[in-house]
Chain A
């Protein structure tokens, strides 16, 4: 007995909104970046589920491209965290207000 596709989509939605809570409620930028990785992963899960459901591997290609974009995003986000830490020595997104007009 294999799980229906609705179960996979529900699991993907739950993971996505757990990641949303992490992005909104945490103030540590590293944990926010990890929550963004959770968002990417839940989107990948939905894509692969629908690829399996339709028997079409275009969803696999999409998930592959999402993984590469997630890698680039993690690298750039961590570089931004590093330079902000060099400037202020406090890693807290509420204290980063230099660009506020």
Chain B
């Protein structure tokens, strides 16, 4: 229980730091702390494989993507350091709505009995539940179609990213030449007339 309290404090503090940080790089650091604390929380729930996946995919891939984009965008101009970043007029209503929503969900969670006879009575099963073998069995025997649809989703994401940010949008044959001979053409036209 004391471990859970410490983990919850770390999670909430790092999430607040992500939301209130002044620069996105600080938010990335807070998000890293959040992901690691969340992986430890998964371990307390006997989800070992998902804890590893959380570290590998989130902390390893997604955060590096964020860091790359931040380094790419903030190299030249001053987009992130300066300028108004908070929205003071919307911050109050946002906090009120979030507090009310969180209170509703928390009260509903405290009032609902979540299978009280089954909770954590699985001590004999706990060495199997959530392990890689258990997870792989469930994924490849009973959920094979969602797994393959996942491959489709990732392929669509790759194609979308390449189309969006790849070269400059449309293919080169249809792209108007904007950079080459910018000023010479109107002059030549005027002379020809």
Contacts and interface: CB of A to CB of B under 8 A. Distances in A.
Interface of A: 1-11, 13-22, 24-28, 30-31, 33-35, 37-38, 41, 44-45, 48-55, 57-58, 60-61, 63-65, 67-76, 78-83, 85, 89-92
Interface residues of B, number: 84
B interface secondary structure, majority? helix
A63 B98 CA distance: 24
A48 B42 contact: yes
A6 B114 contact: yes
Contacts, number: 238
Given A25-B90, A53-B115, A3 B66 contact: no
Interface of B: 1, 4, 8, 11-12, 15-16, 18-19, 21, 24, 27-28, 31, 34-35, 38, 41-42, 44-47, 49-50, 53-54, 57-58, 61-62, 65-66, 69-70, 72-73, 77, 79-80, 83-87, 90-91, 94-95, 97-99, 101-102, 105-106, 109-110, 114-115, 118-120, 122, 125, 129-130, 134-135, 138-139, 143, 146, 150, 153-154, 156-158, 160-161, 164-165, 169
A61 B138 contact: yes
13 contacts: A6-B109, A11-B8, A15-B11, A17-B105, A18-B98, A21-B95, A38-B19, A68-B153, A72-B157, A73-B157, A74-B66, A79-B165, A89-B79
Q: Can you list the 8 inter-chain pairs with the closest CB atoms, starting with the nearest?
A: A72-B157, A3-B4, A22-B19, A13-B105, A79-B165, A17-B102, A9-B109, A17-B98
